[in-house]
Structure 1
Amino acid sequence: MWDMGWIQDAHAGHPACGTAVDVGRASSDGSGTVTLRVFMPVQANEEKIWIGRGPWRGVRAECSAVPDIVLIEVGSIVVSSPRIIMAVQTRNQGAAVPDLIAVGHQQENVETWRARNNIDFENQIKLVKIAHMRYQHPDLEEIEQFLGDFGMTVAKKTDDEVWFRGYGSDQYVYHALKGPKKFLGGTFLVESYEDLERAARLPGGGEIQKLVDAPGGGFLVTVHDPEGFPINLMHGQEAREESVDEQPKKLAYNFENEKPRVREFLRFKPGPAAVHKLGHYGLCVQEFSSELDFYLKNFNLVPTDFLYVDEPDGTKKDVAIFAHIDRGDDYVDHHTFFMSTNKTSHVHHCSFEVHDYDTQMLGHQWLGEKGYEPVWGVGRHILGSQIFDYWWDTSHNMIEHYIDGDVVNRKTPIGYSPAGDESLAVWGPEVPSWFLH
């Protein structure tokens, strides 16, 4: 079977009044028969798929009208030269695909998933956003230099602590403390002080602390999960007032048939890629099921994607998760937290958003010229869509720049996909063999 690429401008029903969709796939067995698969919801009264552009222009194929199904094999057509079509259709191509379609046919509604797992949303600790990372470093001067070259700005420092900010509304996005190398957890803002009190009562919960020295103040409690990883919850911090002068400019790009930038020449200044905010962090864990229960039942974290492996008995075993904060209809990042099964328990990486591709590549070049050690990148992820760039910091913690990530809300279905290196990136350097270890 030959994969023949994306179909564009398919219509369910009559092309003049049907539902338009921009994606589908075609394949051929080489005999002259082309099978069309269009990824779209089909209403009960829609019996035809019309292909409106490309080699299938004007072609009509029968389909089975099944309401609210996103993968439909619409039938076969016979063409005179399928190999010619294949040559046309195998060029690389990108598309912004609706979440219901991009997730694929292995998907589940969030509310169905909650009911199946007995998750009580009303009694969960309500996270609002991820705010900052906390790490302990043996040499604060070294990490201060690195994070400056990484694109952060010192917000405040003492002899034993440094707080680093981006150009967004967070008072700080990284808190470095002096001491032996240690992961001190990600920090989330919560809706209320009562959420802090509820967290303090969890097994592994600590005392609520008033943040006296930290920029913006507030209160914080640290809870340890079943494998001992800390998660920090914060409330009452004053927001930082963003500076207009610090906001990067949105550049106009000239495409082949669209040239908005006229008589203006792009010029760039070398330097670090300015960090906007903390996007996510992830853990490698040994007891995936118990860790999953802790995070998904105690907090309003919702799976965006599960990755699974096939077991010998034919069942599927979840081995990794990308999770987002459930803020209802509000849009949030594709994932704020991820977790994968591993032989050892350790933090994997934390990730910070920068402005655009030029910013990211200039930052990549800057870090390389400064002699820092790259991990993997630059490339584009599949799940989450981010363009990524991973580095080692001076304490050998993995840290990432990213741009152009997907956003989701409560209507986004949970996806289930096979685990493997091929699921990590659509383009970029070969993934290091040890990357997920």
Structure 2
Amino acid sequence: MAEASNPVTRKINLVRIAHVYYIHKHIEKARQFLEAFGFQEVSRNGLNTYYRGVGSEPFVYCAIEGPADKFGGAAFVVESVEDLEYASKTLPNATSVQKLKDEPGGGLRVTFEDPVDGYPFHLVWGQAPIDTRPTVREKIKFNFPDEKTRPGNQFQRFNKGPAPVHKLGHFGMCVTDFAKTYNFYISRFNFRPSDLVYDDYGRDVTTFLHLDRGLELVDHHCFFFFEGPVSHVHHSSYETYDFDTQLLGHDYLREKGYENCWGVGRHVMGSQIFDYWFDPSRFIVEHYVDGDLVNSSHKTNRSKAGPGNLHVWGPDLPLEFLQ
């Protein structure tokens, strides 16, 4: 439906990021990569293959077989069914509230179009979490020069394999009009900037947004975007267990012949240790660990764009990452 003419009176409250959709021309190659990356296949329904992590989300990634490689949008959980109904009446080109009969977890969904670049954005409510028994895993202990936390005669031993995905952490877009995009998402949802980055003219061109949940601690960003000439998805990012797991996954993907995009390194904004990979469709996906947490007491940081504000250690920033 078209955007309603009724005046907007309140923000739509989001709880967390839920899942993403990607359309792949070569679906078998995509499936092989996703399993090597650390996803677990949940089900297949028609052209759709659903993947979960090791958390309670019914799925975090949907691979769709299609005629061309294309991003299908990200989904966020809304706080109430009233938020979902309100979204269907007030957001640009929003659908009606639709029942999810064939997706893992079920629930309800509204899809609207980003008002600047037209990509789909999904809102969901009522998905049933997976009732899983938590995996008992001892946290790794480290021996520091002045503090030996690991008992004697106990050794660090690891098994090679994929780095299991815990959850979807964030996704990012290149947008063609930063100011319009920023004003829309800040005014319509409980997004709040953790960081803003400005150019040589003092104009804001990049933002990292978290969800304002009051004093509740949330990820430093769940959505980011920056201005560029052509709109496209930049990457989606998935938390894994720890640094060793991340590097074991890095080596596993490398041995499988997949192409590393950038990493391993440590970001400045968000602080997370990153590792970016190209999938066979040339989409970028990231493993990360040790990200920052913020709440309503955090004051937005504003900094100038430059090569030094993206990472503090790691390989040089590749041109393909910026493109």
* Bin of the TM-score, shorter chain as denominator length: over 0.9
Structure number with larger C-alpha Rg: 1
2:106 corresponds to: 217
How far did 1:336 drift? 0.4
Aligned residue pair count: 313
2:292 corresponds to: 406
TM-score by length of 1: 0.70
Candidates 254, 270, 287, aligned match of 2:160: 270
Instruction: Describe the SS at the equivalent of 1:132.
Output: strand
Q: Which has the higher contact order (CA 8 A, sep 6+)?
A: 2
Specify the code of the residue in structure 1 equivalent to 2:93. Answer: G
2:4 corresponds to: none
**CA shift digits 1:42-76 (9 cap, x unpaired):** xxxxxxxxxxxxxxxxxxxxxxxxxxxxxxxxxxx
- Structure 1, unpaired ranges of 5+: 1-120
Candidates 31, 34, 41, aligned match of 1:154: 41
Structure 2: distance between partners of 1:370 and 1:133:
24
Match status 1:168 vs 2:55: yes
Specify the code of the residue in structure 2 equivalent to 1:331. Answer: L
Taking the TM superposition and a 5 Å limit, the aligned residue runs for 1:48-67 are none
Q: Answer yes or no: is the 8 Å Cα contact 2:45–2:102 preserved in 1.
A: no
How far did 1:158 drift? 2.6
1:417 corresponds to: 303
Specify the code of the residue in structure 2 equivalent to 1:182. Answer: K
Q: Answer yes or no: is the 8 Å Cα contact 1:282–1:347 preserved in 2.
A: yes
Taking the TM superposition and a 5 Å limit, the aligned residue runs for 1:148-297 are 148-179=35-66, 180-201=68-89, 202-226=91-115, 227-245=117-135, 248-262=137-151, 263-297=153-187
Instruction: Describe the SS at the equivalent of 2:145.
Output: coil
Q: Answer yes or no: is the 8 Å Cα contact 1:167–1:243 preserved in 2.
A: no
Instruction: Describe the SS at the equivalent of 2:144.
Output: coil
Percent identical pairs in the alignment equals: 48
Structure 1: distance between partners of 2:320 and 2:162:
27
Specify the code of the residue in structure 2 equivalent to 1:272. Answer: P
Specify the code of the residue in structure 2 equivalent to 1:366. Answer: Y
- Structure 2, unpaired ranges of 5+: 1-7
**CA shift digits 1:256-296 (9 cap, x unpaired):** 12112122101000000000000000000111111111111
Structure 2: distance between partners of 1:428 and 1:204:
42
Specify the code of the residue in structure 2 equivalent to 1:181. Answer: D
Q: Answer yes or no: is the 8 Å Cα contact 1:285–1:342 preserved in 2.
A: yes
Q: Which moved more, 1:201-210 or 1:401-410?
A: 201-210
2:26 corresponds to: 139
Instruction: Describe the SS at the equivalent of 2:56.
Output: coil
How far did 1:243 drift? 2.3
**Two-structure CA RMSD over aligned residues (Å):** 1.5
How far did 1:310 drift? 2.9
Q: Answer yes or no: is the 8 Å Cα contact 1:161–1:178 preserved in 2.
A: yes
1:346 corresponds to: 232
Specify the code of the residue in structure 2 equivalent to 1:129. Answer: R
2:246 corresponds to: 360
Structure 1: distance between partners of 2:88 and 2:30:
31
**CA shift digits 1:363-409 (9 cap, x unpaired):** 00000000111100000000000000000111110100000000000
Q: Which moved more, 1:213-222 or 1:348-357?
A: 213-222
TM-score by length of 2: 0.94
Q: Answer yes or no: is the 8 Å Cα contact 1:221–1:232 preserved in 2.
A: yes
Q: Answer yes or no: is the 8 Å Cα contact 1:219–1:234 preserved in 2.
A: yes
How far did 1:319 drift? 0.5
Structure 1: distance between partners of 2:322 and 2:183:
22
Structure 1: distance between partners of 2:137 and 2:191:
31
Structure 1: distance between partners of 2:287 and 2:156:
23
Instruction: Describe the SS at the equivalent of 1:293.
Output: helix
2:273 corresponds to: 387
Q: Answer yes or no: is the 8 Å Cα contact 1:333–1:407 preserved in 2.
A: yes
Q: Answer yes or no: is the 8 Å Cα contact 1:146–1:394 preserved in 2.
A: yes
Taking the TM superposition and a 5 Å limit, the aligned residue runs for 1:419-434 are 419-434=305-320
